[in-house]
Structure 1
Amino acid sequence: MSSPSYKVSDQWIGKPRPARIVVVGAGIGGIAAVKLYKDMFKGMPTELVVYEKNHDVGGTWLENRYPGCACDIPAHGYTYSWEGNPRWSKPYVGAVELFEYYKDRAKAYGVFDYLHLRHKVMSATWDSRAGKWHLSIENTEKNLLVKDECDVLINAGGFLNNWKWPVIDGLNTFKGHLVHSARWDNSYDFKDKTVGVIGSGSSAIQIPPSVSNHHQNGADFSLFEKVAKSLVSFNRSPTWITPEFAAEFAPGGRDAVFSEEQKERWANDPTEFLKYRKAVEASGNNFYSMQFKDSDLQKELFDKFKDLMTQRLGREDLASILVPTFAVGCRRMTPGHGYLEALAAPNATVRGDPISHVTPGGIQMKDGTHFEFDAIICASGFDTSYRPSFPVIGESGVDLRDQWKDEPRSYLSVAVDGYPNYFMATGPNFPLANGSLLACLEQTLRYAFMAVQKLQTQKVKSVSPKPEAVAEFQEHKDTLMKELVWTSHCRSWYKNGKAEGKVWGPWCGSVLQFIELLSQPRWEDYVIEYETSNRFQYLGKGKTGIEEAGGDMAWYVKEPGARVD
């Protein structure tokens, strides 16, 4: 039914309107966002702003500097898809080298032209009438509150960003050196100290080999050279300690390095280098196949890793505490270079029983044992609830943190019903344990930018997934997860630290499936609100941009072998 007030717009089809994008976070995702933005919005009337709470870029690799902190996959599988780094020093590089690489990429991509450092987003509120997000941002350097607004908000804050202390009574009463792995203090000297380490996740596994007196020759102690008198490791849950990931690309193991000759060959022969990078990437992307609980591969790996851990420990009493009985991959697997050996050393003790409380002098166990410590290291992880670190108020006035208080329910990990024009780079069920993390991160950002392009070129005011689309994705995800190792009985941050329950961590499929799924948005799954009452007003007066610019009026005509002038 025609509207008497409708008017044809004086434009050509798809003429882009101005749009402003805000990205929260300048870690690996925020850096990639700038590169992709510059690729996808050339000539478009689009603005981009990146807000970062820290004093520099880098995210995880800026913040985490505990001893032994390193990438546990081959570094050549930990670069952006569009370019590798032929000059990694070794297959498994440390935190400092990773940070320096990504900061260098930030400079190369011009990130600092869009970036506001020491700017912490305090709140985001959706304005349905204007079709914009209103932001409140704290400039922590100047102690000022800044207001901003944007058409599209992209949260690239990361899923392991908001670190937390363990919930143990009396923790703040400890009089010795108390430190969290995500806020490391390099000034403290651990030499001849008694040390307790709380945790059994990736960070907790990388620290003991550097702190314990017992270590293997050649280990990297560049961040931490002096070692402790004794070590007690508090392991609430066991973790699968595996061989190095993609070990076929590092025959020399964790301590292998690339020769200068090899680095030069890769730098000067991009074809050979690409072949190597693709082999590393393909190896990681085969990972999903082992995630089915009852597969022959799962059973084979269970027996193999159980035997390997038992042999490395060499002690039945420790094996009963540290060797898991749940499926391989239920908790995040970790290579754990030197970890088991450090815990089996004469100066180390392992406790898997409950802690009662922390005292001014140490840790009291529920069985009455008390350990005196000079230092306690809390490698207790992060807030893995996926709730945003700041209030995100949607169209109904509800804070997303409250909506997700019991369970984070996303649309394909990238969007949320009731929160228009809000996208997540690494939302719930992002493929964080399925294979190539960076390739999936790039794809979620491309997806968000495709939504921006739709808003700009089709007179769309807002897009948000339909509630029924979210519900059906959750149903599919939860049903398939029953067949996968992540629903095995183990305490895991994939389930927000619980032994049972819904899986919020990994994607319910392979990396390649995720990338293909997000390559073309399913707009039929979205509630789309237009700027005007007629969705076709963007057609304008019947012409295209090519016609308006005096371009090729027969661009679609082709002839095999012909050269186009």
Structure 2
Amino acid sequence: MGRSCNTNVRDVVENGDANTSSYKYPQRYLGQARSIRIVMVGAGVTGIAAVKLYKDTFPDREVEFLIYEKNHDITGTWLENRYPGCACDVPAHAYSYSWEGNPRWSRAYVGATELYDYYKRRASQYGVEEFVRLNHRITAINWDDKSGKWTIDVTDLKTGTSIKDEAEIFINGAGFLNNWRWPDIAGLHDFKGKLLHSANWDDSYEFQNKTVAIIGSGSSAIQIVPQLQPVVSHMTSINRSKTWITPEFAAEFAPEGRTAFFSEIQKDNWERNKDEYLQYRKRIESSMNNFFSMQFKDSELQKTVFENFSKTMKERLGHNEDLIKKLVPDFEVGCRRITPGHGYLEALASHNVTVRTDPIAGVTAEGLKMADGSVIAVDAIICATGFDTSYRPSFPVVAFGKDLRDLWQDEPKSYFSIAAAGLPNYFIMSGPNFPLANGCLIPCLENNIKYAYATAKKIQYDGIKCLWPKQEAVDDYQEYKDSLMDDLVWTGSCSSWYKNGKRDGKVWGPWSGSSLHYLEVMSKPRWEDYEIRYLSRNRYDFLGNGRTRLEIEGGDLAYYIREPGATLV
């Protein structure tokens, strides 16, 4: 059994450990992998990709792999979010896996149901069902330093029984917008009408001719409002913060916006002409990756979009001065999440909508009680108030007596978004300062998986028991990140979930650079940034008996010989 990950090998040698002089090389060859197990939580878009990349990376399945998913089905976000108007903000052709597109998307900006269907089909093709345990919720993980494994507590939600599992590596793929929450408003659950949350929608409720209050002005509310406004008798929109409502992302590829559908002829052509379709995908992806200069506060592009978006918002509000004062931001474009709100401003300017920006004092049985003492009586209250954005895991993650939830109580200090100091063999998909607003998202999620698997291979082949980012590496990255953020819009004069709802807090949301910057930085691990502990007291134990896999299993023993012009491989 290997030594504790806290044991300093040099101290052991200097203090004359009894085994120091009796070391014996192992009877195995160089390159002989040890068996390890990876457990992941979350079978959303990232989890589905993780199965596909697992098969690519470990074709001989020398590594075991399992995903626990709390829901009854896969796809995560696109299973859970089904509120009216729920759709992807970016063009669908930029919301596919990098290794294969979908030439048969129905339109430029697709809805939740079509996204669910697409990723469900991908999962079937990749054989995801073999690696996923549905209706299983992870309740805690604890690092067992003696065995060099995570012990994992799981609840089978169908039977209520508790399960114990273990793995050398744990991947947290639960997502950064997964744990929805009710707003902290006094008396909220005293309301006698229909209370809904955008992330826990009830399709059975009928809104026709109802009076409705919707709390929130983020992306969910922006999609819900134009869907419900035409059918309700009256809507009160509580806009606690201003939001930049922008044109569609990569709109040059879909001038008709949300109404842009692809013909069957176009879809058939893309399916037949792979090169043409690839070029189309690359053009959209390039467009999405080509706006980072806007994120600098003093850039010319930032000044231009500020003027343009202000102008278009005012026009869409019908130049209503009261609404302009309430809704058009004066802070930097992108300081809060920008959202292409198709029909949103027009809905807020409609005859049956009232926009309120004053504080809510509480909720009564009849509706909302405002700070000025007035009561807004309604049939239904919709809370489009988002998620827990603290980045603290939803279950205990304990190593060496410390819980990550406590370590990140005040600020989630990650290493390049993917790991945390003191957490052995623990990887976070889309963790703090992941590029969620920096360009294209999906390739960065894929990159996180590849990074974790590269580390798994090192653990497999190099005799490593555990590793984690050095504290000084985390501190240096945080210092760099905070310095660059000073010049970016995310530290601007707004309150934002990027700063955990604060106006002047540190930025926990986006990466400190473009998506392309992130992909290049994360293309391979910087092992010099890691604290590494080995299975043996001798770090070179993995060298084995002096022979290689080629010699033992057979193969080309002169693989390094080349001859110009020769066709022999």
Alignment TM class, shorter chain as reference: over 0.9
Tell me the equivalent position of 2:228. Answer: 211
Gaps of 5+ in 1: 214-226
Post-superposition CA distance 1:47-82 (Å, at most 9, x none): 000000000001000000000000011000001101
Give the stretch that moved more between structures: 547-556 or 164-173. 547-556
CA distance in 2, matches of 1:359, 1:155: 39
2:164 is paired with a residue whose SS is strand
Post-superposition CA distance 1:326-362 (Å, at most 9, x none): 0000000000000000000000000111111111001
Q: How does 1:360-399 map to 2 (within 5 A)?
A: 360-395=365-400, 397-399=401-403
Tell me the equivalent position of 2:354. Answer: 349
Q: Does 1:102 align with 2:119?
A: yes
CA distance in 1, matches of 2:170, 2:25: 30
1:30 is paired with a residue whose SS is helix
Q: Does 1:306 align with 2:310?
A: yes
Tell me the equivalent position of 2:514. Answer: 510
Tell me the equivalent position of 2:189. Answer: 172
Runs of 4+ with >6 A deviation: none
Q: How does 1:72-471 map to 2 (within 5 A)?
A: 72-213=89-230, 227-314=231-318, 315-395=320-400, 397-471=401-475
Deviation (angstroms), 1:560: 3.6
1:154 is paired with a residue whose SS is strand
Contact kept, 8 Å, 1:16 with 1:44, in 2: the verdict is: no
CA distance in 1, matches of 2:256, 2:330: 30
CA distance in 1, matches of 2:210, 2:40: 44
1:187 is paired with a residue whose SS is coil
RMSD, aligned α-carbons: 1.0
Deviation (angstroms), 1:42: 1.5
CA distance in 2, matches of 1:515, 1:253: 29
Tell me the equivalent position of 1:527. Answer: 531
Tell me the equivalent position of 2:546. Answer: 542
Post-superposition CA distance 1:151-208 (Å, at most 9, x none): 0000000000000011111100000000000010010100000000000100010001
Tell me the equivalent position of 2:480. Answer: 476
2:361 is paired with a residue whose SS is strand
Tell me the equivalent position of 2:86. Answer: 69
CA distance in 1, matches of 2:449, 2:301: 33
Instruction: Please tell me the residue identity of whatever aligns with 2:285.
Output: E
CA distance in 1, matches of 2:165, 2:314: 56
Tell me the equivalent position of 1:496. Answer: 500
Contact kept, 8 Å, 1:419 with 1:464, in 2: the verdict is: yes
Identity of aligned residues (%): 59
Contact kept, 8 Å, 2:193 with 2:381, in 1: the verdict is: yes
CA distance in 2, matches of 1:94, 1:113: 28
Post-superposition CA distance 1:344-388 (Å, at most 9, x none): 000000011111111100101101221110001100000000000
Contact kept, 8 Å, 2:55 with 2:61, in 1: the verdict is: no
CA distance in 1, matches of 2:482, 2:563: 51
Instruction: Please tell me the residue identity of whatever aligns with 2:255.
Output: P
CA distance in 2, matches of 1:208, 1:520: 44
Q: How many residues align?
A: 551
Tell me the equivalent position of 1:28. Answer: 45
Post-superposition CA distance 1:439-496 (Å, at most 9, x none): 0000011101111000100110001010000000000001100000000011111011
Tell me the equivalent position of 2:8. Answer: none
Post-superposition CA distance 1:303-331 (Å, at most 9, x none): 10001001100111001010001000000
Deviation (angstroms), 1:561: 3.8
CA distance in 2, matches of 1:543, 1:251: 63
TM-score by length of 2: 0.96
CA distance in 1, matches of 2:557, 2:266: 51
Post-superposition CA distance 1:12-47 (Å, at most 9, x none): 212100000001000001111111111001125210
CA distance in 2, matches of 1:248, 1:381: 30
1:4 is paired with a residue whose SS is helix
Contact kept, 8 Å, 1:118 with 1:140, in 2: the verdict is: yes
CA distance in 1, matches of 2:566, 2:499: 58
CA distance in 2, matches of 1:547, 1:234: 71
CA distance in 2, matches of 1:389, 1:518: 26
CA distance in 2, matches of 1:198, 1:95: 22
CA distance in 1, matches of 2:523, 2:238: 44
CA distance in 1, matches of 2:469, 2:152: 22
Instruction: Please tell me the residue identity of whatever aligns with 1:152.
Output: I
2:346 is paired with a residue whose SS is helix
1:39 is paired with a residue whose SS is helix
Instruction: Please tell me the residue identity of whatever aligns with 1:364.
Output: K
Instruction: Please tell me the residue identity of whatever aligns with 1:380.
Output: T
Change (3 A) 1:358 1:561: farther
CA distance in 2, matches of 1:236, 1:263: 42
1:167 is paired with a residue whose SS is coil
Instruction: Please tell me the residue identity of whatever aligns with 2:538.
Output: N
CA distance in 2, matches of 1:529, 1:247: 50
CA distance in 1, matches of 2:249, 2:140: 39
